[in-house]
Amino acid sequence: MANVETKQLTEAQDRFVAAWGKMGTAWGISRTMAEVHALLYITGEPLCTDDVMERLQISRGNASMSLRALLEWGIVERVHRRGDRKEYFHAEQDVWVLFRAIVRERMKREVDPMRASLYEIRDMTSERAGERGGKDAKDPALAAHNKRIDSMLEFLETMEKMSASFVSPAGRGLQAAAKILGFVGGRAEPRPTGSKPDSEREAG
């Protein structure tokens, strides 16, 4: 039967979906959301809510929520087909674009608030706040504390700047850097198995 390959493919897709889902949870993304994304990525073609539901065996609500979240993250886009009222969803296919979107979102959602908190916390114990003495090296414990908060802040600022310039400007900062610095260039060491030269590239 011609379906030997189809079966192989389906099985491989399932494994990919599972692996991606597992990784997602480790990074604070709900398993289902990661799985939905994996499915869209690995099939490569637009799927509708029902496709996702069926393939992943999840409820309509869950599928809908996950898809919307993915849209918000900017790594999946709506596709309309003429003559079909249904909405289809298509995952970004360029891994680097995907990565940039993820970094951007995570910085926005997790690092920025942390930074804001740190500013507030610093202001709680800044010399100005103690006010009365006017002096500064009053309490060495307080000074040490402030120093720790400040180095944390300085670190976050640096990360922020780096990620910003890697993620946004012309678009492909990190990728370019990786190429220039010689990190890119195909398989690490030619593994016994696959040996395809990096013929493809430049997806998006």
Site for DNA, rule CB under 7 A = 25, 30-33, 48-50, 57-62, 64-68, 84-87
Question: Could you tell which of DNA, its own copies, none binds residue 85, using a CB distance below 5 to 8 A set by kind?
Answer: DNA
Q: Which is nearer to DNA, 7 or 109 (CB)?
A: 109
Alpha helix segments (H runs only) across 136-186 = 140-167, 173-180
CB of residue 28 to DNA, shortest distance in Å: 8
**Nearest by Cα to 172 from 96, 93, 75:** 96
Q: Which is nearer to its own copies, 14 or 64 (CB)?
A: 14
- CB-based contact 87:79 (threshold 8 Å): yes
Within 8 A by CB and 6+ apart from 72, the residues are none
CB of residue 139 to DNA, shortest distance in Å: 29
- Residue 129's CB: how many other CB atoms inside 10 A? 10
Q: Which is nearer to its own copies, 64 or 143 (CB)?
A: 143
Question: Could you tell which of DNA, its own copies, none binds residue 193, using a CB distance below 5 to 8 A set by kind?
Answer: its own copies
- Both tokens assigned to 161: 């700047």
CB of residue 75 to DNA, shortest distance in Å: 16
The amino acid occupying position 149 is I
Q: Which is nearer to its own copies, 28 or 61 (CB)?
A: 28
CB of residue 195 to DNA, shortest distance in Å: 36
Q: Which is nearer to DNA, 80 or 148 (CB)?
A: 80
- Residue 66's CB: how many other CB atoms inside 10 A? 24
CB of residue 45 to DNA, shortest distance in Å: 16
- CB-based contact 49:67 (threshold 8 Å): yes
Question: Could you tell which of DNA, its own copies, none binds residue 105, using a CB distance below 5 to 8 A set by kind?
Answer: none
- CB-based contact 150:122 (threshold 8 Å): yes
